[in-house]
Chain A
Amino acid sequence: ETGVTQSPTHLIKTRGQQVTLRCSSQSGHNTVSWYQQALGQGPQFIFQYYREEENGRGNFPPRFSGLQFPNYSSELNVNALELDDSALYLCASSLVRGQSYNSPLHFGNGTRLTVT
């Protein structure tokens, strides 16, 4: 059973550019969530995808968008990058929609994005 994998591990972008981060869910998981973790903070929910549709969204602007593919892999796209977007972006998958005691979130190791 493979865990959640993310690519790339590190990325440096310039303000105003666009970025795409990728995630492969844990085998058998049909739900993927994305979180942003600023330095020294807890992860903040961006959005969740279930069966290729957005299932919920946190307090992030529309320039944060996502996709989930039929094989349950996922992308996070961020347009018009700002300096404050510098953070660790975490992908997590779960067995069913949402997360619960019987279907916990499993996180990848993240992509460290630096915006200069």
Chain B
Amino acid sequence: QQQVKQSPQSLIVQKGGIPIINCAYENTAFDYFPWYQQFPGKGPALLIAIRPDVSEKKEGRFTISFNKSAKQFSLHIMDSQPGDSATYFCAASNSNSGYALNFGKGTSLLVTP
């Protein structure tokens, strides 16, 4: 059973656009929500993470929005660049009792010049 549902599966935007990737979860015990970026032939790299006690976090051009009541969170990439073309994964875990990071299925992003 997929504990974190991610959409869309793929996304194409023009340079400068703002791609948005959405994730939803059911387990209210989750308290850690990271996003990972993966390039072909590489392992996932931590991009940004958020705790459920904040509604938004920004790091550079990347922003996470978090809606605890809706059990949803999303990644926004401002002023997207061709170098942002990669696969993005949202994930969630319970840092107190869990040991597994539960990943979404991923979103393949292509930013065209």
Contact = CB atoms under 8 A, between A and B. Distances in A.
A41 B105 contact: yes
Contacts of A106: 46
B80 interface: no
Contact of B43 (A42, A104, A109): A109
B49 A45 contact: no
Centre residue among A90, A100, A105 by max chain B CB count within 10 A: A100
A43 B95 contact: no
B98 interface: yes
Interface string B79-110: 00000000001010101001111111110000
B93 A99 contact: yes
B17 interface: no
B46 A42 contact: no
Contacts, number: 66
B103 A43 contact: yes
A105 B46 contact: yes
Interface of B: 6, 32, 34, 36, 41-46, 49, 51, 89, 91, 93, 95, 98-106
21 contacts: A40-B105, A40-B106, A41-B106, A42-B6, A42-B89, A42-B91, A42-B105, A48-B99, A58-B100, A90-B44, A97-B99, A99-B95, A99-B101, A101-B51, A101-B95, A104-B46, A105-B101, A106-B46, A107-B36, A107-B44, A110-B43
